[in-house]
Amino acid sequence: MSVTAPLGFRAAGVDAGIKRGDDRDLALVVNDGPSRAAAGVFTRNRVKAAPVLWSAQVVSGGQVRAVVLNSGGANACTGPLGFQDTHATAEKVAAVLGDSAAEVAVCSTGLIGERLPMDALITGVDVVAAQLSRDGGLAAADAIRTTDTVSKISFRRGAGGYMVGGMAKGAGMLAPALATMLCVLTTDAEIGSEDLDRVLRAATAVTFDRLDSDGCMSTNDTVLLLASGASGVRPDLADFEKVVTAVCADLARQLLVDAEGASKAIAIEVVGAESETDAVTVGRAVSRSNLLKCAIHGEDPNWGRVVSAVGTTDAAFDPDRLNVAINGIWICRGGAAGDDRSKVDLRPRDVTITIDLSAGPHSATVHTTDLTAAYVHENSAYSS
């Protein structure tokens, strides 16, 4: 299912020999129409990988026929030759499909700073194209994994019967992000590229954008949304946004649970903020505190580390009116010790930290993970 759950899409994933070993490393997703409307959001890192520069240009045309994705190399920081490699990959896909390279998006993930093995990749395009099918969604999702232990896929049906499907990879998040997040969303709804763009921005802003596993931002993060129109259903826009957001939220959740070396999934819920921006700022600052992430790993309800992190922001709040709950126990009230910290049960994998800024009616939730020796191990040993 995944990207092939909606009508009008075929996909495949193969081992093209880009990565060492026998894992799949090349995926292709093709939109057979009748529409090719598309939108995309990309990393905000100023150092953008060649496929990001290329795909942003493709998407700006509002039409995407196909997306080719490889693991085993990010093609980032590879200079003009790296950009030529991306271009050549798009040209090859276009040739195989009898279409224009200007409508072929490219995504890459893996080590930064190394050229891709282009012979393997170009040969692989023929192989993967030959395997394109309506059942290929799972193989495609498998082929884009790097340190992901499982494939991430999702789909939802919208009002009137259209479908939205998607696949994602990454142990990080969209932006800020690293370990590269790639996501391809598909739908058979009939909808134009401008509406797709608006909906995709709204959906990612409250899902992938609020995932902050380690505060790092990748050079390659990409989320694409392709519409085939094959269902013939013209969706209600509010319903469509809700469905796309649900698919993104589901994929984001899967990314978080599979984050490198994590043993806890931490939701940082900021309430009582003067603005949503303040709420996100505070949530992000708290999610980036290594000290707090270690404390949660150690199942220590160390609210002092929460309050310290809040204090580094410019959000509106009065230190004497801060309240903090961990898993529902308000252990900090009015900026000082509140309820008995021994009542906090931090054994479950899911942890919720609620921060009440007592400054207004707005709220937002940012998701992160704990910091573990396994994270250090994985990121010390694996060049990515």
Active site residues: 180
Residue closer to a second copy, measured from CB, 119 or 318: 318
Instruction: State the residues that interact with a second copy by CB under 8 A.
Output: 44-48, 74, 76-79, 82, 111-114, 176, 178-179, 214-219, 288-291, 294-295, 297-298, 300, 302-305, 307-313, 317, 319-320, 322, 332, 334-337, 371-373, 375-381, 383-384
Cβ density class 270-280: b for 16+ within 10 Å, e for less: bbbbbebebbb
The reply, when asked if residue 263 is annotated as ligand binding, is no
Q: How far from chain centre, in Å, is Cα 371?
A: 20
What is the nearest approach in angstroms of a second copy to the Cβ of residue 375?
Answer: 7
313 annotated as a binding-site residue: no
Nearer to a second copy, 241 or 260 (CB): 260
Least Å from the CB of residue 51 to a second copy:
15
369 labeled binding residue: no
**How far, in Å, CA of 12 to CA of 134, rounded?**
9
**Sign of the CA dihedral with 12 first, then 15, 17, and 23 last:** positive
- Known binding residue 169? Answer is yes
* Helix-, strand-, coil-residue percentages of the chain, each rounded to 5: 35, 25, 40
Strand partners, 362: 273
**How large is the C-alpha radius of gyration of the chain?**
21
Whether residue 363 contacts residue 273, with contact meaning beta carbons closer than 8 Å, is answered with yes
Considering the complex, what minimum distance in angstroms separates the CB of residue 95 from a second copy? 27
371 near 294, Cβ under 8 Å? yes
Q: Which of 185, 163, 160, 36 is nearest to 107 (CA)?
A: 185
Q: Which is nearer to a second copy, 154 or 213 (CB)?
A: 213
Q: Per the annotation, does 358 bind a ligand?
A: no
For the bound state, the minimum distance from the C-beta of residue 69 to a second copy, rounded and expressed in Å, comes to 19
Query: Looking at beta carbons only, is 238 or 291 nearer to a second copy?
Result: 291
Q: How far is the CB of 186 from a second copy (least distance, A)?
A: 29
Tell me, letter by letter, the H, E, C secondary structure of 56-101.
Answer: HHHHHCCECCEEEEECCECCCCCHHHHHHHHHHHHHHHHHHHCCCH
Question: Would the annotation count 146 as a binding residue?
Answer: yes
Nearer to a second copy, 4 or 287 (CB): 287
Per the annotation, binding residues are 146, 169, 180, 260, 379, 384
Per the annotation, binding residues for substrate are 146, 169, 180, 260, 379, 384
